[in-house]
Structure formats: C-alpha cells, structure tokens
Amino acid sequence: MKNKKIIIIGTTASNLYGFRKDFILSCLEQNYHVYTFVSEYTNEWLAKIKSLGATPITYELSRGGLNPFADLQSTYQLLHKIKEIQPDIVFPYSTKPVIYATLAAYKARVPYICGMIEGLGSPFTIHKQGQRFKTKFTRFIQITLYRLAFPYLDKIIFLNHDDPRDLVDHYNISHKTNAIEVLGPIGLNLQEYAYTKWDEQEHISFIFVARLLAEKGIFEYLEAAKIVKNQYPQVSFKIIGGLDAENPTGLKQAELDHLIETGVIEYAGFVTDVDQRIRNSAVFVLPSYYREGVPRSTQEAMAIGRPVITTNVPGCNETVVEGVTGFLIPKWDVDALVEKMIHFIKHPEQVNVMGYQGFLYAKKNFNADLINHKLLQIIGINQS
C-alpha cells in the first residue's frame, strides 16, 4: 500500500522548520509523504527541512503585497504543483497561503483541505490612535478573500477562542458545517525548554522578547522600565528582538541607542540562545496588543519556569492564569505594568512560586506531542 501524501504550505522556510518540525515528524510517523511549500528560503533551510524526511518545494508569493495579478499568478503556480503531487491532504497556514492554496487545492480536487489561521494579525490590530486607512483597506480585502476561500475548507483551525468570533461570526463568513476548530497553542518540544529554577540570590530582572514594534508593547515596556528603574536602580530590563526600520510603528535606532547609553535597558539584539536568556532573567514581560494566535514566547517562558506579565487581549490571555502563573494587565496600561513589576521586586519569592505553576501549566497545555496528536485528528489523519 503506497504512502498517503500531505502538503504543508507556509511562507518562510525558517518559520516552517522552527514551528512545524514536530508536526512534520508526526505526519512521517503515520507513514505520510510530507511535502513542504515555502516561498522565502535559503539552501540551508531547505536542507534542514529535507533532513527531517520531508520534500521541500519552492513557490512564489508576495507575503505582504496587495498586487492581485501577482497573487493570481501564485494561485496558478500552486495549482500546477499541487496537481503534480496529487496529495490526499493540503494544509496551508497563515493568511495568504490559506486563501490562495485553498482555492488552488479546491481546483486541483484535493480530497481534504484544512487551513490554519495563526492570529488575525496587523489588519485586525487596533492602535491607540486607531487604524490607518491602508490598514482598514487591507482588512477589507482580507475579509473579502476569506469569503472566497472559507467555503472550500473542510476544517478552519484557530489558535484562540476570540479569533473565530471576531472574524467568522462578526463578518458572517460562510463555511462548511462543523468546519471551525480551536486548537489552542501549537506547542513546544518541552525537552528543549527544560524547567530551571531562578536563583533567588540574583537581583530581579525583566526580559522582553519580540520585534521592537508598538503593537508588541515595546513602548509600554520602556516607559515602565524608566519608572521602575528610577525607584529601584538595581533592577535590570533586558530586550531581545530586532528593529524593523520599514514599520512606521517600530522603535527607531536613535531611540534604542539612547536607552542603551543611559543604562535603562540591556539590549542583546538578535541572539540564538533565547531560552538561556530567559533562564537568566526573573520575569518575562509581553505587553502586546497585537492580534496574536497564541504567542510562542510566553509558552517558552512558562515552560522554563518564569512568571509572565502580559496583556488581557486575544491570544495572550490564553497562556497566563491570572495570579497563579503571572499577571494579565489591560493593554496600553503602563501604571498596571509598573505595579506588577514592583510586586515581583517586593516579593521575589513569587518568581519561583509562580514560575513553577507556569511550568506545570505548560507541561499540561503546551506539550507539542499532545497538540500534534489533536491536530492530526482534526485534519483526518488516522493514528496507528
């Protein structure tokens, strides 16, 4: 009996390898031939995907563009490649692949099509100053395209409970009966994020890990850092994440340089040992108001055993148990952030108390093996 075939369609090869590796291995264990489609790649990342036992296939897609002709061309290219492979299942994730690969897979008469929406993203993120016209227009286009694609999906997977309400229900988007599923976080290989107790002899330190964008909460973090540092000079504030010069909401290089010079923050920039940096810090902070799916960084921090301060917004609020594994604060609320930071400074024993509860929560809810078992069931792969 020949192996069945599944095509997993993403965009960036490094992202696919980093976030889909365990799922690929789960499919291979069920004797599926796995094809991975990527549009942004290097030979190194393609080789890493191949080393798992999957077959990487490249295609062209403008991830952020709004050119309908380019997107139509991508759809035809996907149709051609899908027809060649004749898969049993097509599984696209993230906005554009879900839209265009779904239409292509339907035209190619694929028996089972399952799409995953990993958060609603920038078009659905509301800033303090509201939304720019371009963002509103992008959201309108996105919703229109979802209306075209969703009726052809056998399953539409979301990572949190707010997203299907705010997208499918709010905009009354047609879909197949019982197509909507909420998976929860995509999870972690917990062996790679081993629990490590924080050394209570150390000064309290806070760490922020994300792109340095307004919607990720960088400006609230910096403002809180200045206030707390003024009262408790021994406390350190760390940042890991890249600048995005093209993004109008991003932190500017000059601002970052000034904060480093004045000693408000410690900035490591891009690093490959994020897990160790979290271990060397007491508390993880993510004051994001971005429309996350379920942020991976908070999962990593909790698995390692660090309490988390994050916002009570979709996605983020599905990681932290309020007052048990950390704290949920209102978005944009610097005073609330300062208050929770000072709580850990005044009660340092709570770092390990809450951190251990976070570890227990992660063990139960963020285990990639358990989540991939559920995901295989959703997309119709019978597990032996």
3 state SS for 256-270: HHHHHHCCCCEEEEC
Q: Does 384 map to a domain?
A: no
- Band of the pLDDT at 107, cuts 50, 70, 90? very high
Most trustworthy range by pLDDT among 128-132, 175-179, 209-213: 175-179
Whether residue 50 is contained in a domain is answered as yes
What's the whole-number average pLDDT of the chain? Answer: 93
- Find the CATH number of the domain harbouring 309: 3.40.50.2000
**314 and 354 belong to one structural domain:** yes
% of residues, the chain, pLDDT over 70: 98
Mean pLDDT in residue range 349-358: 97
- Which residue, among 280, 300, 196, has the nearest Cα to 238 in the 3D structure? 280
Question: Alpha-carbon distance 179 to 152, whole Å?
Answer: 10
Residue 384: which pLDDT band, with cuts at 50, 70 and 90? low
Q: Over 60: is that where the pLDDT of 167 sits?
A: yes
Q: What is the reported pLDDT for 27?
A: 94
**Residue 310 counted as domain residue:** yes
Give the mean model confidence (pLDDT) for residues 117-140: 89
The count of domains in the chain is 2
Please tell me the distance from the alpha carbon of residue 365 to that of residue 371, in angstroms, as a whole number: 8
Which residue range is the domain that position 202 belongs to? 190-365
Is residue 71 pLDDT above 60, yes or no?
yes
Confidence band, pLDDT 50/70/90 cuts, at residue 47: very high
131 and 175 in a single domain? The answer is yes
Percentage of the chain modeled with pLDDT above 90 = 78
Q: Please compute the mean of the pLDDT values over residues 97-105 and round it to a whole number.
A: 96
- Both 371 and 360 in one domain: the answer is no
What was the pLDDT predicted at 2? 65
- Indicate if 200 and 349 belong to the same structural domain: yes
User: Which pLDDT score, from 0 to 100, does residue 309 have?
Assistant: 98
To the nearest 10 degrees (0 to 180), the angle between helices 334-346 and 218-231 is 50
pLDDT at 310 over 80: yes
Question: Given this model, what pLDDT does residue 62 score?
Answer: 79
**Band (68; pLDDT cuts 50, 70, 90):** confident
Predicted pLDDT at 166: 95
Per-residue pLDDT, averaged over 64-82, amounts to 87
Q: What is the sign of the dihedral through the CA atoms of 266, 270, 271 and 274?
A: positive
pLDDT in tens, 218-234: 999 999 999 999 999 99
Task: Answer yes or no: do 311 and 326 share one domain.
Answer: yes
Q: Are residues 211 and 167 in the same domain?
A: no
Instruction: Return the pLDDT at 297.
Output: 93
Whether residue 243 is found in the same domain as residue 196:
yes
Confidence of residue 244 (pLDDT cuts 50, 70, 90): confident
pTM equals: 0.90
pLDDT (mean) for 347-371 = 96
Ranking 164-168, 247-251, 364-368 by mean pLDDT, the lowest is: 247-251
Return the higher-pLDDT residue of 115 and 71.
115
Per-residue pLDDT band at 160 (split at 50, 70, 90): very high
The reply to whether 128 falls in a domain is yes
Average pLDDT over residues 176-205: 93
| Residue 344 included in any domain | yes
Does residue 383 belong to any structural domain of this protein?
Answer: no
Looking at the structure, tell me whether residues 178 and 314 fall in a common domain.
no
210 and 147 part of one domain = no
Give the Cα separation of 354 and 107 in Å (integer): 51
pLDDT on residue 132: 85
Is residue 1 pLDDT above 60, yes or no?
no
Task: Answer yes or no: do 113 and 12 share one domain.
Answer: yes
Q: In which band, very low, low, confident or very high, does the pLDDT at 52 lie, cut at 50, 70 and 90?
A: very high
Pairing assessment for the beta strands 326-329 and 308-311 based on DSSP bridges: parallel
Residue 348 lies in a domain: yes
User: Is position 293 within any domain?
Assistant: yes
pLDDT of residue 64: 67
> Are residues 267 and 251 located together in one domain of the fold?
yes
Q: What pLDDT, on a 0 to 100 scale, did the predictor assign at position 230?
A: 94
**Local structure of 279: helix, strand or coil:** helix
- The answer to whether residues 177 and 203 belong to one domain is no
Contact criterion met (CB below 8 Å) for 160 and 315: yes
